[in-house]
Chain A
Amino acid sequence: MEYKVEAHRIMSISLGKIYNSRVQRGGIKLHKNLLVSLVLRSARQVYLSDYYGGACLGSQRAEAGEWAEGETMESLEGRSSPGAAGADSCESETESRETLRAPETNAQASVEVAAERNAEEPASSSDYNWPQGGETDEERAPGQAEDSTQVPSCPVPESRFECGAANADEGPQSPAAAAPCCTRKRSAGKSPYAGSPVKRPRPGSVPPANTEGGDASEDMDTGNVSSLITIFGSSFSGLLSKDGAQAEPGAADGDSGSGTICCEQMLPNLSPWSTAIVAF
């Protein structure tokens, strides 16, 4: 589908911009990199949506009940991290999450999330609209997106892996590039910014009913990539919680679980990212 091609192109362009910003005169421009990272995230979600649209539908149904309670702790960051988990990439998912989340206005959940930026209404005049998902509200498994343990089960193409690897290479760049979670406007009633750290992916979740992963080697590859995506998607939450003990106060305990899984695979690539956080 052409939107996927465009999404990939936009991702490449965005990464190029982030990379070039490192060598630009005057230092890294926070505002521009923030905007670029928002576009990158949007494009990534659209790009990945195709792969998980079919694969994870079945597993979503199975877990719909489990995740309902995870709703309150959810933040957009956690939700978008898992482009890899694929669940949130399913368009109807996000729609249903919107409706589910609407009543959840407690301070912790609110953070930055007011309107979902993945609203899937087609935009008639723009070139690059969010593709209209075919799924219905039945696939209500919003919290499922949090689960990074689900990650290895979904196949990811090679090119995505390269893209992910490129992310890792860009390590010591503006963390703001990967940082922002929510892109939507805040409604007037909500608190301006996170008082507490955002929710991390839930640990120990029920493994998906369908494992699409295939053979072990592919799992390893996809696991790596998915972890990269998860880390990138959740900004640096995976990194910061890598030894579990560093889980930030108030963060869900799930932090360490999923973080560990990601980071065991990604440890060699982590240090430039950590350096980036500190430096900026």
Chain B
Amino acid sequence: MGEDADTRKINHSFLRDHNYVTEADIISTVEFNQTGELLATGDKGGRVVIFQREPESKNEPYCQGEYNVYSTFQSHEPEFDYLKSLEIEEKINKIRWLPQQNAAHFLLSTNDKTIKLWKVSERDKRPEGYNLKDEEGRMKDLSTVTSLQVPVLKPMDLMVEVSARRIFANGHTYHVNSISVNSDCETYMSADDLRINLWHLGITDRSFNIVDIKPANMEELTEVITAAEFHPHHCNLFVYSSSKGSLRLCDMRASALCDKHAKLFEEPEDPNNRSFFSEIISSISDVKFSHSGRYLLTRDYLTTKVWDLNMENKPIETYQVHDYLRSKLCSLYENDCIFDKFECAWNGSDSVIMTGAYNNFFRMFDRNTKRDVTLEASRESSKPRAVLKPRRVCAGGKRRKDDISVDSLDFTKKILHTAWHPAENIIAIAATNNLYIFQDKVNSEMH
């Protein structure tokens, strides 16, 4: 699955020449909008950077729609909860775009506690020729005004304005891990560790609690919610995943509080793989509906699975992302890597799935051909317009040239956040503080 790489590395860190990474620049979420024209990234410092795809230019047909920075703004600031003496991180956990309904774009961004609705609009004209004000905005001396003129709109340099339209605060006691916009375009949900709330986009002082798994007695707590998403077409259905590796599909028509699931998707654990860390590696870190709405894609620490909504007792496909780590779970526990939450993504036609791994590797699995590939997102190995070379990790046994051995993997370089353009073969990969955008020039015959 070769790809031409139109690599754009946006380094947020102004300390470019140094090797260390400013923590605030670490990208924490990546999301395309529904058309793929815009790509938003959030980072640990609470900033959102939006990229826009340049329209294809006739002069350089090879330069097919690159992404350039469109707007940057500070979405969330660090806060302090005085009651609990807790600092609330400004890290952007998730960004979700609203379907576009007029000239402006809207997106939701959330940190641990507060969700904000941002309006992104363009201004490329401004009025000139006011009667009472001069060009600088100062009031004119009325005695100098002898005639009336009608102000006219004159073109100006494009300006992108971002404003916070809604702030949905105080809805969550625990850390928000997911937001998802409903297909009705009026409501959205936000999920924290124990509860899921349903909001109306226009109402900020109220939300409905639709899932609550907090036990009456906290000592009986056994699982938490790890991700949640609305069905892409059915506005009454949503799914949430748990730390125990189960998925629950809920129907909001059944009752106001969706504690009883309509379907429970769970695969019994393989007893041969039992270890101290079995619970941790079975915790689902991400769940995504397919574009068709028929399938679910989940990611746990070592595998990614495709589930059919019609079959609850096991996934229809399981892909090993980096099974060579199974024997290293203890070390990964020590250095906290075992808690890393990898995301997963579908391509536009639901035929290929993608997820990240360590050493800046990311993996793609073709569901039809059953082929998979490991690619690397790094400056050294990819020049602009170079074809990405497939990588291989060798876990012992015969080692080929260019193989990376498991022990030389860099676990600080992890690709947690990836996104796939909704229609084309363009992917956005967040590698720590760098964003890589890869485009596939070869046409869809492969997919």
Is the beta-carbon distance between A121 and B272 smaller than 8 angstroms? yes
Q: Tell me if A62 counts as interface (CB < 8 A to partner B).
A: no
Q: Tell me if B219 counts as interface (CB < 8 A to partner A).
A: yes
Is the beta-carbon distance between A180 and B274 smaller than 8 angstroms? no
Closest to B275 in A: A126
Interface-facing stretch out of A127-135, A148-156, A205-213, A257-265: A127-135
Which of A43, A117, A182, A194 contacts B278, CB < 8 Å? A117
Q: Tell me if A66 counts as interface (CB < 8 A to partner B).
A: no
Within 8 A of B (CB), among A6-37: 6-7, 10, 13, 17, 25-27, 29-32, 34-35
Interface residues contributed by chain A, number (CB under 8 Å):
60
Is the beta-carbon distance between A182 and B217 smaller than 8 angstroms? no
Q: Tell me if B273 counts as interface (CB < 8 A to partner A).
A: yes
If over half of A's interface residues share one DSSP class (helix, strand or loop), that class is named, otherwise mixed; here it is loop
A17, A185, A236 — most chain B CB neighbours (10 Å)? A185
Q: Tell me if B137 counts as interface (CB < 8 A to partner A).
A: no
Is the beta-carbon distance between B220 and A175 smaller than 8 angstroms? no
> In the complex, what residues of B have CB within 8 A of residue A123's CB?
271-275
Is the beta-carbon distance between B222 and A112 smaller than 8 angstroms? yes
Which of A10, A34, A181, A237 contacts B243, CB < 8 Å? A34
A32, A119, A126, A181 — most chain B CB neighbours (10 Å)? A126
- One digit per residue, 1 when the CB lies within 8 angstroms of any chain B CB and 0 when it does not, for chain A 110-121 equals 011001010101
Q: Tell me if B394 counts as interface (CB < 8 A to partner A).
A: no
Is the beta-carbon distance between A175 and B268 smaller than 8 angstroms? no
Q: Tell me if B21 counts as interface (CB < 8 A to partner A).
A: no
> In the complex, what residues of A have CB within 8 A of residue B226's CB?
31
Given A34-B224, A123-B273, A186-B244, verify A27-B333 contact (CB < 8 Å): no
Q: Tell me if B283 counts as interface (CB < 8 A to partner A).
A: yes
- One digit per residue, 1 when the CB lies within 8 angstroms of any chain A CB and 0 when it does not, for chain B 306-339 equals 0000001100000000000011111001101001
Is the beta-carbon distance between B244 and A185 smaller than 8 angstroms? yes
Is the beta-carbon distance between B271 and A119 smaller than 8 angstroms? yes
Is the beta-carbon distance between A43 and B84 smaller than 8 angstroms? no
Q: Tell me if A1 counts as interface (CB < 8 A to partner B).
A: no
Minimum Cβ distance to chain A for residue B320 (Å): 13
Minimum Cβ distance to chain B for residue A168 (Å): 16
Which of B88, B215, B246, B276 contacts A10, CB < 8 Å? B276
Cross-chain pairs A/B with CB under 8 angstroms, 16 sampled: A26-B91, A30-B193, A31-B226, A31-B243, A34-B223, A46-B276, A112-B220, A123-B274, A128-B329, A182-B222, A185-B268, A185-B282, A192-B213, A197-B217, A277-B219, A279-B84
Told that A10-B276, A34-B224, A188-B264 touch, could you supply 16 new A-B pairs with CB distance under 8 A?
Answer: A6-B330, A27-B84, A30-B193, A34-B223, A39-B333, A43-B276, A46-B276, A119-B271, A121-B274, A130-B274, A180-B220, A181-B220, A184-B244, A193-B215, A194-B215, A248-B217
- A→B interface (CB under 8 Å): 6-7, 10, 13, 17, 25-27, 29-32, 34-35, 38-39, 42-43, 46, 77, 111-112, 115, 117, 119, 121, 123-130, 175-176, 178-188, 192-194, 197-198, 235-237, 240, 248, 277, 279-280
